[in-house]
Structure 1
Amino acid sequence: MNAIRRTALVIGASRTLGLGLAAELLRRDWDVIGTVRGTRRTGLHELAETSGGRLTVESLEMTDPEQLTALRDRLAGRTLDLLFVNAAITRGDLPIGEVPTEMFTEVMVTNALSPMRALETLSPLVAPTGTLGVMSSDQGSVSLNTGGGQDLYRASKSALNQLMRCYAARNAEDTRTLLLMDPGWVRTELGGPEAELSVEESVPGVAETIEGHAGRPGLHFVDHGGRVVPW
């Protein structure tokens, strides 16, 4: 008898870590639904063409609540084993006093508010034994911040972490796994060219940690090696 294949929805899967995670999950025999912004062709579309129908692409602007609701409606009837929100932005390394209000709002909405809206809106699709995850960062750890810098990005990830704590407390009886994932310092647009890890080095650990925490209810702040990240 064939094992039932697991299904993942990866929000923000057009490139780098999101695309890498979609590809890694396919290699691990998952079915994957990945989202991209707009209708422009991306690496996810190319991956879908070679997936034998196991990867489907959905269009989503995560910051638009109506699009989140529409995606949930389109996926009604499907059961997810994993909902993972990857999308995030940075707008440079400015001291907080020099950050324009519009920039502060944009980063906070994209990195903290919108991932939680996505999780709240789409969580009814996730199985009782499934996993709800968001891509965080050790830069969101207050206790690890001894060097400063990246004020706004750090603040947005700390806000995301706090909002996940609020979600976990509000849903304390939920049997699903909640993950805040630190992928490590990765060479992406966010991480920069001097980062320690390539996407190919980070993503297998991210997927392994996701799979390793399946069936473990409660909130876990962990890195790509499965290690606990301090708050």
Structure 2
Amino acid sequence: MRSTMSGDERRTALIVGASRAIGLAMAAEFLKRGWDVIATVRGTQRTPLHDLTDTAGDRLTIETLDMTVPQQIAALRDRLAERSLDLLFVNGAITKGDLPVNEVPTDMFVEVMVTNALSPIRVIEALKDLVPESGTIGVMSSSQGSISLNTNGGQELYRASKSALNQLMRSFAARHSNDTRTLLLINPGWVQTELGGPRALLTIDQSVPGVVDTITAHQGEPGLHFLDYRNQVVPW
């Protein structure tokens, strides 16, 4: 069920990695549903996200963040110190092609793992205190991070990075077992983006409203949930 909110009910979402594709569409979807949105881009150049300010006005705040740089994460935390985030959601990942893992150069392995697994957790650790007890913390995962669903192989490094992300979120949940916040790993489906490729089964418009529906449906449910854009459980 999609809904908008009146002014006194407005909530705030921080979308990390929103300059294009799924992150951009998520920012637009939350704005359409009446949320205030803080969204990050990596550089200083204008992006499609900036075009949303034409209609969103002061409900959209654009921040600069390269989440692979710890100093930038700390600086963002300082800038947002007075904000309360009903949703902290970390989007964004990279892939470096479909190589067997034994052919992956070490520097490529490190880059993908740092970007896709370590950096999202660093962001969550740095900003979690801005999320109230009733709030939600989520990251964009993938069905390719599911070990039990890996029956075809391929995309070994990307799969491993998403599995690592899932494991790190599982550890985060274990370390905060008394936390009442909702923790989410979200699989958006196979989407037609630069990462997903043109053969993907879903358009962004088919995936993202479901992603947002799933996120909002689980508000107030403590613990970690691995779900897809249809609100279906994804096996570990």
TM bracket (short chain): over 0.9
AA matched with 1:24: E
What aligned pairs does 1:126-145 form with structure 2 within 5 A after superposition?
126-145=131-150
**Residue equivalent to 2:3:** none
Give 2:94's match in structure 1, choosing from 89, 93, 96: 89
TM-aligned CA deviation for residue 139 of structure 1? 0.1
Give 1:196's match in structure 2, choosing from 193, 197, 201: 201
Q: Secondary structure at the match of 1:50?
A: helix
- The total of aligned residue pairs comes to 231
TM-score (norm. length: structure 2): 0.97
**Residue equivalent to 2:50:** 45
What aligned pairs does 1:20-39 form with structure 2 within 5 A after superposition?
20-39=25-44
* Structure 2 gap ranges (5+): 1-5
| C-alpha distance in 2 between matches for 1:112 and 1:55 | 27
What aligned pairs does 1:70-219 form with structure 2 within 5 A after superposition?
70-219=75-224
TM-aligned CA deviation for residue 190 of structure 1? 1.0
TM-aligned CA deviation for residue 4 of structure 1? 2.0
| C-alpha distance in 2 between matches for 1:138 and 1:146 | 12
Deviations, residues 170-226 of structure 1 (Å, cap 9, x unaligned): 000001000000000000011110000001110000000000000000000000000
AA matched with 2:151: T
Is 2:9 aligned against 1:4? yes
Query: What percent identity do the matched residue pairs reach?
Result: 68
Q: Secondary structure at the match of 1:51?
A: helix
Q: Is the 8 A contact 1:48 1:57 kept in 2?
A: no
| C-alpha distance in 1 between matches for 2:32 and 2:55 | 12
Q: Secondary structure at the match of 2:107?
A: helix
TM-score (norm. length: structure 1): 0.99
* Structure 1 gap ranges (5+): none
Q: Secondary structure at the match of 2:202?
A: coil
